[in-house]
Amino acid sequence: MRSLSQRVRALKPSATVAVNAKALELRRKGVDLVALTAGEPDFDTPEHVKEAARRALAQGKTKYAPPAGIPELREALAEKFRRENGLEVTPEETLVTVGGKQALFNLFQALLDPGDEVILLRPYWVSYPEMVRLAGGVPVEVETLPEEGFVPDPERVKRAITGRTKVLVVNSPNNPTGAVYPEEVLKALAELALEHDFYLVSDEIYEHLIYEGVHFSPGRVAPEHTLTVNGAAKAFAMTGWRIGYACGPKAVIRAMADISSQSTTSPDTIAQWAALEALTNLEASRAFVEMAREAYRRRRDLLLEGLHRIGLRAVRPSGAFYVLMDTSPLAADEVKAAERLLQAGVAVVPGTDFAAFGHVRLSYATGEENLRKALERFARVLEARPQ
Ligand SMILES: Cc1ncc(COP(=O)(O)O)c(C=O)c1O
């Protein structure tokens, strides 16, 4: 049998997608399970966005789109980046992609030569190191610490810079820690990109889900060195529509579009018209985002208070919809802890593939009733553990 490529043999499939699939399968079999695994809003896409998709269909907008996206959406993106992020970009400096994931995938393909180093802040989102390796790059890990609220220390990042450093990835609000990086930290990291001439990739997909603090786009400090990645998935409950976007230096954006032209051709045309509505019907979209944010905030507080009451530790997240819970009171490591919790009827994601050892990720993008049930089950697992 001819073998698969070395590249693919080294590839780890997404742990979060796998755990979520397992939880759904158990539930289909009738197991009473609370799933805290989802990386997506539990809300449905808002009605005004769905209506725009129906309109696009009725108008026959069913053909291929340009690889970088429909011009109307690119114009709306330039306006969004200016209005919400303080980034002065033209439509040509923006790109629409098949989810934020394709924007990241294409930019690593566009930027990395074999052996180029990419600094990742640990714990990191599971897909970064795999995307970097698929592009021939070498992930270099710099840790962020629970006692520092998982906020990166620019000095520690500086020590990891070498002559081969090509990219630093920052993700605020963060998956899986929920940390929102302060402006001065993001500015210091952008200054490093300028000083050492590498690219900063700023993954801002959870931008609208902040409960304390404010969002800052480091592209304001280093516009020629920053690629800002975002998407419709988390803000507008549009995960299945697969619309992401990015902005950055024109040459890189053009290269990313060329990669799309030879792989996916373009993002889904109907979904692009729907995303345009989400980005331009400001009144309806703001009302939706505000409603979702308030719901997540209540759920976060409920979950955190519940965890602390039963003696489980977690750093208070200020954004996104995840809590990284310390598993030391539950089991010897995070995989065993996740197994014990699954047996007790709660599915969580072990921190292993996020390089969040000794932790599991809990998603609170689920109803309050589910969170209460999960807390009761956690308490039972703790009581059953021999001291
Ligand atoms: C940190 C982070 N970046 C990017 C993405 C990609 O999102 P999508 O491809 O659905 O737009 C996700 C999704 O889980 C994420 O958590």
Residues of the domain holding 137: 62-281
How many structural domains comprise the chain?
Answer: 2
Residue type, 125: W
| Claim to verify: residue 135 and residue 11 sit in the same structural domain | no
CATH number, position 138:
3.40.640.10
Are 157 and 28 in the same domain? no
User: Is the domain of 301 the same as that of 351?
Assistant: yes
Q: What's the pLDDT tens digit per position in 6-26?
A: 888 888 777 667 777 778 888
Going from the Cα of 276 to the center of ligand 1, the distance in angstroms, rounded, reads 19
Claim to verify: residue 370 and residue 291 sit in the same structural domain: yes
Question: Could you tell me the maximum CA-CA distance found in the chain, to the nearest angstrom?
Answer: 66
Q: Give yes or no: residues 111 and 240 share one domain.
A: yes
Q: How far is CA 327 from CA 170, 331, 356, in A?
A: 25, 6, 11
Q: Is residue 300 part of a domain?
A: yes
Does the C-beta of 363 come closer than 6 Å to ligand 1? Answer: no
CA distance 135 to 360: 28
Q: What is the residue-averaged pLDDT of the chain? A: 95
Of 238, 257, 281, the last residue of a domain is: 281
> Which DSSP helix (H) or strand (E) runs through 3?
none
Question: For the chain, what is the radius of gyration of the CA atoms?
Answer: 21
Angle at 111 between CA 101 and CA 160, to 5 degrees: 95
The CATH number for 293's domain is 3.90.1150.10
- One domain for residues 242 and 323: no
Residue 277 sits in the same domain as residue 302: no
CB 364 within 8 A of CB 299: yes
Written as one letter, the residue type at 169 is V
DSSP state of 43: S
Check whether residue 239 and residue 333 sit in a common domain.
no
Decide: 356 and 343 in contact? Cβ < 8 Å: no
268/291 same-domain check: no
One domain for residues 134 and 270 = yes
Give me the count of residues in the chain. 387
Neighbour tally for 10: CB within 10 Å: 10
pLDDT of residue 280: 98
pLDDT for 57 beyond 60 = yes
> Does the Cβ of 123 fall within 6 Å of ligand 1?
no
CA 13 to CA 39: how far, in whole Å?
15
* Residue to mutate (ligand 1; options 234, 353, 363; most atoms within 8 A of CB): 234
> Does the CB atom of residue 93 touch ligand 1 within 6 A?
no
- Cβ of 354 less than 6 Å from ligand 1: no
Helix, coil or strand: residue 363: strand
Of 242, 259, 281, the domain-final residue = 281
Per-residue confidence (pLDDT) for residue 385, from 0 to 100 = 67
Give pLDDT tens digits for 299-320: 999 999 999 999 999 999 999 9
Backbone angles phi, psi at 182, to 5 degrees: -65, 155
Q: What integer pLDDT is reported at residue 62 of this predicted model?
A: 97
3-state secondary structure of 384: helix
Do 347 and 271 share a structural domain? no
Q: What is the pLDDT of residue 386?
A: 59
Measured in whole angstroms, how far is the alpha carbon of residue 318 from the centre of its chain? 15
Q: Is the CB of 39 under 6 A from ligand 1?
A: yes
223-279 pLDDT tens trace: 999 999 999 999 999 999 999 999 999 999 999 999 999 999 999 999 999 999 999
| Residue 58: partners with Cβ closer than 8 Å, 6 or more residues away | none
Which of 281, 315, 332 is the C-terminal boundary of a domain? 281
In angstroms, what is the span from residue 169 Cα to ligand 1's centroid?
13
Establish if 215 belongs to a structural domain: yes
Average pLDDT of 69-93? 98
pLDDT at 90: 98
CB of 130 closer than 6 A to ligand 1? Answer: no
Ligand 1: distance of its center to the CA of 205 in Å? 6
Tell me the CA–centroid distance for residue 120 and ligand 1, in Å.
16
What is the per-residue pLDDT for 7? 87
